[in-house]
Amino acid sequence: MSGQVLRDGAIIDPSASRKLPSPEGKPTVTVLDYGSGNVRSAVRALERAGAEVILSSKPEDVLNADGLVVPGVGAFETVMRELKAVDGIRLIGRRVAGGRPVLGICVGLQVLFEAGVEHGTEAEGIGEWPGKVELLPADVVPHMGWNTVKVPEGSTLFAGVENERFYFVHSYGVQEWNFDVIQPRMAPPLVTWSEHGAPFIAAVENGPLCATQFHPEKSGDAGARLLRNWVQALRKPEATPEPGTTETPADGSA
């Protein structure tokens, strides 16, 4: 493992051993660029929330940023295929394994589950959480517009906006949650629910991994506050290198 650095519990590549720089000292956020429609609104919303934002699929950008946002528009299977094309699934897994924050949005939430079923076809998901994405049993789909959410106690993502409405655009959702906590010291994930035809998962907070079914970037002041909560949580002091490891200076000098 010569030349590699231990950071946040994970061995990462030499090219990804340093944090992305922010000239203004802001938290850095990479929005994963894998062809998911118009993500400019998400970039602008994150910038307004106080982040230094880039749109990229380069491994060094994905791994080094303080936070990674995984957007998602379209069909579950298509998003999975596009993520695989840019090695996004492995990179997301590397961040989660190393305790590095990730935020999924809309289909970016859905693909974090085990599977998605659309038009009778089941596609494999990333599998960070158990569960299957299925058609909402409502008289009218897609579920499009503003809706309330039921936020659990202790949420940091929804701090200050627990009773607000958020903007949804989707026909499919996860309608059951069965997550077994097998580690005694592991805090159970916080699950936020909404309803359209039946209850469905509106958001999950699970350590470094968070996701929303709604679009915070389209949810007005409430969504802006939620994104600001997430960005502010990225503000951490620089990690101290593990004993016996070294970091290469940014200019490559020794």
CATH code of the domain containing 126: 3.40.50.880
Q: Using alpha carbons only, give the angle 174, 70, 165 rounded to the nearest 5 degrees.
A: 55
pLDDT in tens, 146-195: 999 999 999 999 999 999 999 999 999 999 999 876 666 778 899 999 99
- Nearest in space to 193 (alpha carbons), one of 223, 136, 138, 150: 150
86 lies in a domain?
yes
Catalytic residue among 106, 134, 164, 210: 106
15 falls within a domain = no
The rounded distance, in Å, linking the Cα atoms of 81 and 88 is: 10
97-115 average pLDDT score? 97
| 69 domain residue, yes or no | yes
Q: Which domain holds residue 192?
A: 28-180+188-234
Domain count, the chain: 1
Kindly name the residue from 143, 170, 196, 215 that is annotated as catalytic: 215
Q: Is 106 marked active-site?
A: yes
Within a domain: 216: yes
Is residue 4 in a domain? no
Contacts 24+ apart (CB under 8 A), 47-52: 48/224, 48/227, 49/224, 49/227, 49/228, 49/230, 49/231, 50/26, 50/228, 50/231, 50/232, 51/26, 51/27, 51/231, 51/234, 52/20, 52/22, 52/23, 52/24, 52/26, 52/27, 52/28
Cβ burial 100-110 (10 Å sphere, 16+ → b, else e): bbbbbbbbbbb
Cα–Cα dist 95/157, whole Å: 19
Is there a catalytic annotation at residue 24? no
Query: Would you say residue 13 lies in a domain?
Result: no
Average pLDDT for residues 58-62, to the nearest whole number? 97
- Position 159 in a domain: yes
Q: Is residue 245 part of a domain?
A: no
Q: Is 217 a catalytic residue?
A: yes
* Overall average pLDDT of the 138-146 stretch: 98
